[in-house]
Copies of this chain bind each other. A is one copy, B any other.
């Protein structure tokens, strides 16, 4: 039996020919890539593989940009909050910023572009109330209210690309590699340069098959503090795309001028947890239009040269959001992105309008993982099992790795196990891709961002399990591998169009007043009326954390009537709360062990049941953490938090079928053991039973006719059966 080949991309580097051949064979790789910091020799480029070449559009050309430093990329930043102790104040606005990365922009008139705020009163100061001392990087406020807090919002140039800075620092490149200066393609020389350089580059790189853009123009917001350590990171942030020239373009198109405050946003910098203002949403749209228009020019050049264009979903990806309205206009052939679990796998795999998608798997071949004494195989397997769950629903078209191949090569067990993974991936892909896996219902995640941020809710920086998010991230991770269809909808979608008829269940999950819970929008009678009606007429609603939360006219959870629970804010302590007896058993916890062992993540305090009709499922510490309720023909479930685990996967899936009134349907392609899942592909006449653990598992599975079969699976096994 000949080994299957294809769908795998291998990173390589100089002086690595023989090893590359060996690895191509072992992994069945059909493409070879370089990375930031590595190059490929010509003999490697001549192997029987597609050659990906990393291409930087807006950095890595210091010779050019040094001649045009006024075209460096820019961002608005905000100074420290400084309390005035007297009646005037001097603010050292560069305090806390890394001067090797950011320098103040004195080319554009600070009086036109900067802002000084009194953050105690919330008032913007008139420009004649302050002056800038450019020599000392200070703003002098002539007259202040004593003991009020002031800030300066100001424009800076970015003189070191933050991703290169991260790679530079992590790999100790020292003085051997110069600091990449990013430039703004909106500016005349830069715009001309990027096209001309690419044209020549395409001629100079005949062996490149795929131009791997890393990425396009504007980096997500990332800057460093005075010690050179990360100060702020927002993978979704548009703040570092800004420049006076783009703001003026925006003004021409939208009829109003954006200010520093639109970007620094009281110091929160429009984090995706902030409910987006209309002006910020306008800018997001504006920039997507601009970026897609400029990017198309580059992609057209690539296509004219007979090559393919691929984009890394990261680094300078701002404006390219692949679930946005304008991405398709770029004409990109493929997207590659880092995959650390099921949700990020689906985030890549589900992108529309592409020829192919590729997941860059973890771990990255960097010395922080590949060092003597460490066993990277554990991380590899853990990652693979999480990702595989989601692959069973919709796999990426290709997988690959990144970093220094020579480093990983020193770990033979690792190399072998990647071979197992690549084989398994191709087997899954051949059956699953392009066919509709069986799903029992459709769920919509409802928040301020909707479709634009499909599979991207509650992310902060890449894969970091913040205390404030892991209870919500778990929802996406569960859904990424679940036998349900998933859609992301915004509050505006519901307000304007109502709830689409094919939706069975709506999930609203998040902390109060964030963009994910919704905040003030829940005062909108249109929204709340439509959601209530949807449930009342038979729809399902799952609220996690602080769903529909905004303190308004006697309720905190505005859907408390639907949920059967609300949260005590200490205003109604005087009202007796009599309902705290959990039901003896409940459909949604039927597969699980003791209720005390369910881990519902960060506690949401002081949630209580409104009436005896609320089915309390978990009650401890004087609070409800899990409850169900009936509302007309529909149902709801409240869950305090849902970190990812086998138990919580089952809990959420059962909740979805329960609130959708589809309990019976759940037992189609179902496993009694939560550590095992069944995926069916009716068009292909196959189904797969998947052991998501590294241990032997016993289970009863229910087939398409709900017939039971007793099954035993080896550690990590996928068993394919005919329907």
Contacts and interface: CB of A to CB of B under 8 A. Distances in A.
A278 interface: no
21 contacts: A81-B554, A120-B529, A120-B558, A122-B553, A147-B528, A147-B536, A148-B525, A148-B528, A149-B553, A149-B555, A237-B574, A267-B554, A267-B575, A268-B572, A269-B574, A271-B571, A273-B570, A273-B571, A468-B570, A513-B569, A514-B569
Contacts of A571: 268, 271, 273-274, 514
A519 to B, nearest CB: 10
A133 to B, nearest CB: 24
B573 A273 contact: yes
A466 interface: yes
A583 to B, nearest CB: 21
Interface stretch (A228-236, A299-307, A500-508, A707-715): A228-236
Contact of A513 (B83, B460, B551, B576): B551
Contact of A233 (B122, B569, B574, B623): B574
A461 interface: yes
Copies of the protein in its oligomer: 2
Given A232-B575, A269-B574, A573-B460, A533 B146 contact: yes
Contacts of A136: none
A472 to B, nearest CB: 10
A266 B147 contact: no
Contact of A572 (B267, B469, B573): B267
Interface in A560-600: 561, 568-576, 578
Given A525-B148, A576-B225, A553 B120 contact: yes
A119 interface: yes
Contacts of A573: 271, 273, 460, 466, 468-469
A121 interface: yes
A382 to B, nearest CB: 23
Nearest to A233: B574
Interface in A483-536: 511, 513-514, 523, 525, 528-530, 532-533, 536
A352 interface: no
Nearest to A120: B525
Contact of A461 (B221, B523, B574): B574
A20 B556 CA distance: 55
How big is chain A's contact interface, by range?
A: 35 or more
A622 interface: yes
Given A122-B523, A145-B525, A467-B623, 14 more contacts: A83-B532, A85-B632, A117-B553, A120-B553, A145-B529, A147-B533, A149-B555, A234-B574, A267-B554, A267-B575, A271-B574, A273-B570, A466-B573, A469-B573
A605 interface: yes
B525 A119 contact: no
A467 B551 contact: no
A131 interface: no
A355 interface: no
Contacts of A525: 120-121, 145, 148
Contacts of A575: 231-232, 267
A614 to B, nearest CB: 14
A635 to B, nearest CB: 16
A48 interface: no
B570 A230 contact: no
A530 to B, nearest CB: 8
A529 B569 contact: no
A514 to B, nearest CB: 5
A66 B554 CA distance: 37
A463 to B, nearest CB: 14
Contact of A511 (B83, B469, B514, B570): B570
A576 B237 CA distance: 15
A606 interface: yes
A233 B575 CA distance: 7
A122 B570 contact: no
A350 interface: no
Interface in A169-200: none
A606 B273 CA distance: 15
Interface in A363-384: none
A680 B467 CA distance: 49
A462 interface: no
